[in-house]
């Protein structure tokens, strides 16, 4: 699988190539707070398969408990996470990947912290566009 991605404003641009990457939903409370979402979807890839255009110019980072979140310093979009104990992998924030329609999460982790409703998204009312 070969993919490209970017932050919301486009200042951060990256690409990676990974063979059958694991794709997970993380329900831990740290990801929830850092990303402002009920759960966070990540594509886990080898660190050496990941490359940036102009990495240093636009990425900022924040580290807590061995986990480092990298985000665009211009628009704040999360781009990827790294972990001090697992230095050979990167967790790409799913939403930053272009053309992600062919990849989907296969498992949920940190379910002890999950929100009950987050496992029943198919029971919500759906609108094609906004509600207005
Ligand atoms: Zn940006
Ligand atoms: Zn998490």
Q: Which domain holds residue 17?
A: 2-115
User: Ligand 2 centroid to 132 CA: how many Å?
Assistant: 33
For residue 128, is it within any domain?
Answer: no
Distance from C-alpha of 92 to C-alpha of 108, rounded to nearest angstrom = 16
Phi/psi at 45 (5° precision): -130, 160
pLDDT per position as a tens digit, 5-23: 999 999 999 999 999 999 9
Domain total of the chain = 1
Distance from C-alpha of 125 to C-alpha of 77, rounded to nearest angstrom = 28
For residue 98, is it within any domain?
Answer: yes
User: Ligand 1 centroid to 58 CA: how many Å?
Assistant: 7
CB 10 within 8 A of CB 27: no
* In the predicted structure, residue 55 carries a pLDDT above the cut 70: no
pLDDT per position as a tens digit, 70-91: 999 999 999 999 999 999 999 9
User: Ligand 2 centroid to 110 CA: how many Å?
Assistant: 7
For residue 69, is it within any domain?
Answer: yes
What is the reported pTM? 0.92
User: Ligand 1 centroid to 3 CA: how many Å?
Assistant: 18
For residue 122, is it within any domain?
Answer: no
The CATH number for 77's domain is 2.170.150.70
Q: Find the mean pLDDT for residues 54-67.
A: 89
């Amino acid at each position: 699988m070969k993919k490209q991605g970017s932050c919301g404003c486009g200042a951060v641009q990256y690409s990676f190539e990974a063979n059958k990457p694991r794709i997970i939903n993380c329900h831990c409370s740290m990801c929830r707070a850092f990303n402002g979402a009920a759960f966070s979807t990540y594509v886990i890839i080898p660190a050496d398969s990941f490359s940036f255009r102009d990495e240093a110019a636009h990425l900022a980072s924040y580290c807590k408990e061995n986990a480092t979140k990298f985000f665009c310093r211009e628009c704040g979009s999360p781009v990827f996470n790294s972990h001090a104990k697992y230095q050979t992998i990167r967790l790409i924030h799913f939403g930053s990947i272009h053309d992600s329609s062919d990849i989907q999460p296969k498992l949920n982790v940190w379910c002890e912290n999950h929100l009950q409703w987050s496992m029943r998204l198919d029971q919500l009312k759906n609108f094609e566009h906004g509600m207005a």
